[in-house]
Structure 1
Amino acid sequence: MEAARATAWLGGAWAAAGWHRRAEELLIEALEEFRAVGSDEWHGRVLEMLGQTAEGQDQHEKVRELYARALEVVEAADLRDAARIRQRLADAVAASEAG
């Protein structure tokens, strides 16, 4: 699981640097690992990171979908991340409606 965490953080770093395709590849790889081991916390976190990556590409519909999925995961597991993700989703909806 440590390798999957490192992969997720590396994906986030690639996204921050503007290398969105590489970021998505790494984040999806990490997501699959977290699903396989049943880590709801990291499953939700990586979906959120994928949402942030999509935000960097102005993919509004994808952003909303990813944040909604992340929220479902963390709410089902009763994780503390729900409030943060709920706010990201609300911001994404507002941004897509504005433009």
Structure 2
Amino acid sequence: MILESRSIDPVTGNTILETEEETKECQNQTLLLTEKLNEELTLFSQMAEKQKEELQTVTAKWNLAEEERAHFLEKQQSFKTEMEEFAATLGQVERLMDM
């Protein structure tokens, strides 16, 4: 009746209804896919934030290890210099004792 009151023949009316149903189905699918995409993006964002924090932690540990290594190398060089001085002093003492 609605089709007749609007002067739409039944074949065209059925086509319009089918098209409308397809459009609604497409909209529903689009909505579902959009929601799923938003969920995945939220999850990705959370994972990226966690990895960023982990990277910052690892970077801080790496920097600390580099500082400790530099300090160790300074101590090692100081020890080496001191040993060379002791060896030189020992050599002088041995020469003096040989006299």
Shorter-chain TM-score bucket reads under 0.3
The TM-score with structure 2 as length reference comes to 0.23
The TM-score with structure 1 as length reference comes to 0.23
Instruction: Determine which structure has more spread, i.e. the larger CA radius of gyration.
Output: 2
**Bigger relative contact order (CA 8 A; separation at least 6):** 1
